[in-house]
Structure 1
């Protein structure tokens, strides 16, 4: 009898020890999982700080270069009034100012999108006019690379009802991206058409293409695919993110298809057809977005 009691006590002790061991193992496993999560979070924080540092560096580079050029050329204008080179210098000065203005538009648009502080002011607008104005901003890279622009627009008059300021910045970013990733002498193609109840606007460049593993990331803020083969300047990494955010606000969508190896990259914006009832009277100043159409 005593032996049986001892055996029961031993079994209870073993069972209790096993229970405590299991608890310790579970605690150790939980601690290990927490450690992994903390390490992952720390890595994310470090990555975010790296991105911020790179962004600040890019801001300095993107603005310092054109500003330095503006200072030098403005000095030349002062010293060479009446010289035949003044017109050419003034033209380049204007293009550099437009470049700065473009970057500022994206910076403030990104901030407004993140804050959710924008509203749409719909107006009837010609897509051709928005394209012309957008290309005027990008003449510095179009001329430098000797690019050709082909535009095929098949939209009946009054079809496009949208927020002109937002849509123009969308086009500026898509065209800027196409220009930067095209080779010298390439042709960029712009198309506009109606399919069902949607307006489709596409921008195609025959540049180097985007590898498939990058396609799912290109609309992320600060993300840049850079092979070094075609780009003249490294941008801020905001353009495509801003374009998608603005298109979303307009009730549309934007997607990209690409074939690496210099075949083509196509960005297509799909917007809903809208009627005259949504057109806003702009006599009060209209668009409250940071940037009006030019």
Structure 2
């Protein structure tokens, strides 16, 4: 090694320094990419937790209604035909509501997995809003609430 000239050592030093700077720059880029991925992961985790919380609430409401109705039926000693019909309607509505929610969850999973394509279409917005209001009619009645909806023509 004593045979190397100053110029050779300087050249080797410069090459090592260049290599170090390139490596440092590459590590900085990788570090930034890891930070970005970590932020995306944290956001995804937060969205997942929000989704699960919403899912729990969406499924719990109709299930709670069905349990309450069935409990009231069990406690009744004598049930008349009109009461049974009314309870049957509520059961049907709540089960339809629950089925729709579960179907939407599965559809969302299929869309996320790329198994279903999304297509846009025109809808009758007035009918759509009234259908939504109708879905919540039992909940509104149970809570002694009224919902007024008015369409204003442009």
TM-score, normalization by structure 1: 0.38
2:149 matches 1:149: yes
* Higher Cα radius of gyration: 2
The answer to whether residue 71 in structure 2 is matched with residue 71 in structure 1 is no
Kindly indicate whether residue 20 of structure 2 is the aligned counterpart of residue 16 of structure 1.
no
Q: What SS does the aligned partner of 2:106 have?
A: helix
Report the Cα offset of residue 103 of structure 1. Answer: 1.9
In structure 1, the residue matched to 2:106 is 108
Shift of 1:54: 4.1
Aligned with residue 56 of structure 1, among 52, 55, 58: 52
Q: CA deviation at 1:10?
A: 2.6
**What does the per-residue CA deviation read over 1:255-288, in whole Å, with 9 as the maximum and x for residues that have no partner?**
xxxxxxxxxxxxxxxxxxxxxxxxxxxxxxxxxx
Higher RCO, 1 or 2 (CA under 8 Å, sep at least 6)? 1
Residue of structure 1 aligned with 2:80, choices 58, 63, 82: 82
Deviations 1:198-246 (A, max 9, x none): xxxxxxxxxxxxxxxxxxxxxxxxxxxxxxxxxxxxxxxxxxxxxxxxx
2:15 and 2:64 mapped to 1: Cα distance? 73
Match of 1:41 in 2: 37
Cα offset, 1:35, TM superposition: 2.6
CA distance in 2, matches of 1:128, 1:39: 47
Q: CA RMSD in A?
A: 3.7
Distance (Å, rounded) in 2 between the aligned partners of 1:11 and 1:60: 72
Matches within 5 A, 1:129-208: 129-140=127-138, 144=143, 145-152=145-152
1:73–1:89 CA contact under 8 A, matched in 2: yes
1:63–1:53: structure 2 CA closer, same or farther, 3 Å change rule? same
Give the deviation of 1:14 after TM superposition.
2.3
Does structure 1 conserve the Cα–Cα contact (< 8 Å) formed by 2:110 and 2:116? yes
For residues 12 and 140 of structure 1, what CA distance do their matches in structure 2 show? 88
Q: Structure 2 unaligned segments of length 5 or more: list them.
A: none
Cα distance in 2 for partners of 1:70, 1:78 equals: 12
Secondary structure of 1:150's aligned partner: coil
Deviation at 1:140? 4.2
Could you list the runs of 5+ residues in structure 1 that have no partner in the other structure? Answer: 1-8, 153-190, 194-294
Checking the alignment, whether the CA contact within 8 Å between 1:102 and 1:137 is kept in structure 2 is no
Q: 1:78 to 1:133 in 2, by over 3 A?
A: same
TM-score (norm 2): 0.63
Would you tell me which structure has more strand in proportion to its own residues?
1
Aligned counterparts of 1:146 and 1:88: Cα–Cα separation in 2: 20
